């Protein structure tokens, strides 16, 4: 068959090296995609420093580069030996190219999924391998000459991609030695206990809580007793206009009272933002936030939050802080040395193959319990006058089964919504036991609605999600409810109010300029 000529000729070591570099970049775990991003937002969402992880990833690329080049040379040698063999033996050796490109496709897809560049449910590394290898094998059987050109074309594409190593590897090495702060996952500054009950503001932000799903078009049979009970005692904004689509933009904009249309991070994990398209990048300033204003007015402040690095952003403006950021997969950790991170994926893989225990990751239930403990501690700390908690509920993907009441991987947005209500009930009960409960103003809000466009057809999307969303309908309205001390009657503000106006509302709450439902309604009418 003519197909054997595809690999009979030996490539030069220079070509093999560049092609091996392209293969290595496709084989490398998907974490490098985030580390090479020009926005550096992955740094913003990690507990810093992560330089030991990045250095380990650089070593991964180098080792895979060398290994891929050797494999390519071996593939050429194996296929090239078919000249004096029977046709069936020659074809068998040529098949290895189909398997090779299937492996590259599988690892590339797995990496893009891990890096959250791709999230389609229909995609998986196994399917990518089957499609790539299957198509090449079909070509070999039907048109051997076309198979020859297909292999050459794919090798040429990977060769071109391999030139990316000339900037990717130096960028990883430089990032691995960049100066990064040593984050505190939590801190507590000395605070004197209050002598008597006093005014407090407790702000609970439920990530991706949709007004439409919580109240207007609730899933049939879904009980949300705590949200309903709170709504019957609060001022509810039924037509809040969203301030954006992404959490790392929306919450900083609420804290500063400025619109944010784009965000990125410095190489040290500091937030940069734009307030208008084409405008300059500006550094986030903790002294220009609600918490700085609260401190200047004599309030003590605290945060328990997810996703945004609050303890890094607002270290000088908070008396109490705890944060939960994105953790690495494959047992990588900022707490390990470069060598430890380099070995961790291989050790974990070996342990899985041998069915031996290796650094078990905390379960979803343990992670959730840790978050709730942190938020509860903040809410019940009567020393904190202005407390803000950012909870990752009911943010997809689902990790709760409302039928069994257990926190487990799986479930739908509706399940998470039920868990958000249950969690709200726990926090309301805890808050009611605090000495200053009778003088506490409670704010319940969300940063955006249920972003159906992001999650539909992505991993974790369920049949129930499809039905609940009305086959992909997106209602952008977030939630905002305010319960004043002693309030027992409901009130609704139905006119459109921009979410960004929350900044001014909270400023006025702290200043005592808004102290009851009527004053809040008067203020809302002016927005």
pLDDT tens for the chain, 527 residues long, are: 444 444 434 578 889 999 999 999 998 877 788 888 889 999 999 999 999 999 999 999 999 999 999 999 888 877 665 444 444 445 555 778 888 998 998 888 877 777 667 667 667 788 888 889 889 888 888 888 888 889 889 999 999 999 999 999 999 999 999 999 999 999 999 999 988 899 999 999 999 999 999 999 999 999 999 999 999 999 999 999 998 999 999 999 999 999 999 999 999 999 999 999 999 999 999 999 999 999 999 999 999 999 999 999 999 999 999 999 998 877 888 889 999 888 887 777 676 666 666 677 788 999 999 999 999 999 999 999 999 999 999 999 999 999 999 999 889 999 999 999 999 999 999 999 999 999 999 999 999 999 999 898 788 899 999 999 998 899 999 999 999 999 999 999 999 999 999 999 999 999 999 999 999 999 999 98
Rg (Cα) of the chain, in Å, rounded? 27
Question: What pLDDT sits at residue 466?
Answer: 94
Question: What pLDDT sits at residue 343?
Answer: 87
> What is the rounded CA–CA span in Å between residue 65 and residue 482?
57
Question: What pLDDT sits at residue 2?
Answer: 43
Question: What pLDDT sits at residue 86?
Answer: 46
User: For the domain with range 200-328+364-525, which CATH number is right: 1.10.287.610, 3.40.50.150, 3.40.50.720, 3.40.720.10?
Assistant: 3.40.720.10
Dihedral sign computed on CA atoms, order 355, 356, 359, 363: positive
- HSE at residue 462, side-chain half, CA atoms within 13 A, is 17
Residues of the chain with CATH 3.40.720.10: 200-328+364-525
Given a contact cutoff of 8 angstroms between Cβ atoms, the answer to whether 290 and 303 are in contact is no
> What is the rounded CA–CA span in Å between residue 275 and residue 220?
41
Read off the pTM.
0.91
What is the SS3 assignment for 419? Answer: helix
């Amino acid at each position: 068959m003519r197909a054997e000529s595809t690999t009979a000729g030996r490539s030069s070591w220079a070509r093999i090296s560049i092609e091996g570099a392209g293969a290595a970049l496709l084989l490398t775990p998907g974490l490098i995609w985030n580390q090479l991003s020009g926005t550096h937002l992955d740094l913003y969402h990690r507990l810093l420093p992560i330089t030991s992880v990045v250095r380990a990833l650089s070593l991964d690329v180098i080792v895979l580069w060398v290994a891929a080049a050797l494999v390519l040379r071996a593939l050429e040698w194996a296929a090239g030996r078919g000249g004096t063999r029977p046709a069936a033996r020659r074809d068998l050796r040529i098949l290895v190219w189909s398997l090779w490109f299937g492996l590259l496709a599988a690892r590339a897809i797995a990496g893009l999924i891990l890096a959250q560049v791709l999230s389609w449910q229909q995609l998986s590394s196994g399917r990518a391998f089957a499609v790539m290898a299957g198509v090449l094998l079909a070509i070999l059987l039907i048109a051997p000459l076309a198979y020859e050109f297909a292999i050459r074309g794919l090798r040429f594409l990977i060769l071109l991609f391999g030139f990316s190593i000339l900037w990717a590897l130096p960028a990883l090495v430089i990032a691995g030695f960049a100066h990064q702060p040593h984050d505190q996952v939590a801190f507590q500054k000395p605070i004197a206990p209050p002598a008597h009950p006093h005014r407090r503001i407790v702000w609970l932000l439920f990530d991706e809580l949709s007004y439409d799903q919580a109240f207007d078009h609730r899933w049939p049979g879904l009980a949300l007793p705590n949200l309903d009970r709170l709504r019957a005692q609060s001022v509810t904004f039924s037509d809040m206009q969203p301030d954006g689509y992404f959490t790392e933009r929306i919450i900083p904009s609420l804290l500063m009272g400025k619109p944010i249309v784009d965000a990125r991070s410095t190489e040290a994990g500091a937030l940069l933002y734009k307030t208008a398209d084409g405008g300059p990048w500006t550094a986030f300033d903790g002294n220009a936030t609600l918490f700085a204003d609260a401190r200047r007015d004599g309030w003590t402040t605290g945060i328990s939050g997810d996703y945004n690095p609050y303890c890094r952003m607002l270290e000088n403006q908070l008396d109490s802080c705890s944060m939960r950021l994105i953790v690495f997969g494959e047992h990588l950790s900022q707490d390990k040395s470069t060598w430890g991170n380099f070995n961790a994926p291989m050790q974990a893989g070996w342990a899985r193959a041998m069915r031996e225990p290796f650094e078990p990751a905390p379960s979803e239930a343990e992670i959730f319990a840790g978050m709730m403990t942190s938020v509860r501690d903040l809410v019940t700390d009567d020393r904190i006058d202005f407390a803000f908690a950012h909870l990752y509920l009911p943010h997809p993907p689902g990790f709760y089964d409302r039928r069994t009441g257990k926190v487990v991987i799986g479930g739908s947005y509706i399940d998470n919504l039920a868990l958000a209500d249950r969690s709200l009930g726990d926090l309301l009960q805890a808050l009611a036991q605090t000495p200053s409960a009778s003088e506490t103003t409670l704010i319940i809000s969300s940063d955006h609605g249920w972003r159906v466009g992001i999650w539909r057809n992505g991993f974790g999307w369920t049949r129930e999600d499809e039905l609940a969303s009305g086959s992909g309908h997106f209602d952008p309205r977030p939630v905002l409810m305010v319960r004043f001390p002693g309030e027992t009657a409901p009130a609704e503000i139905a006119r459109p109010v921009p979410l960004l106006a929350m900044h001014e509302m909270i400023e006025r709450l702290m200043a005592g300029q808004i102290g009851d439902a009527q004053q809040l309604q008067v203020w809302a009418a002016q927005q």
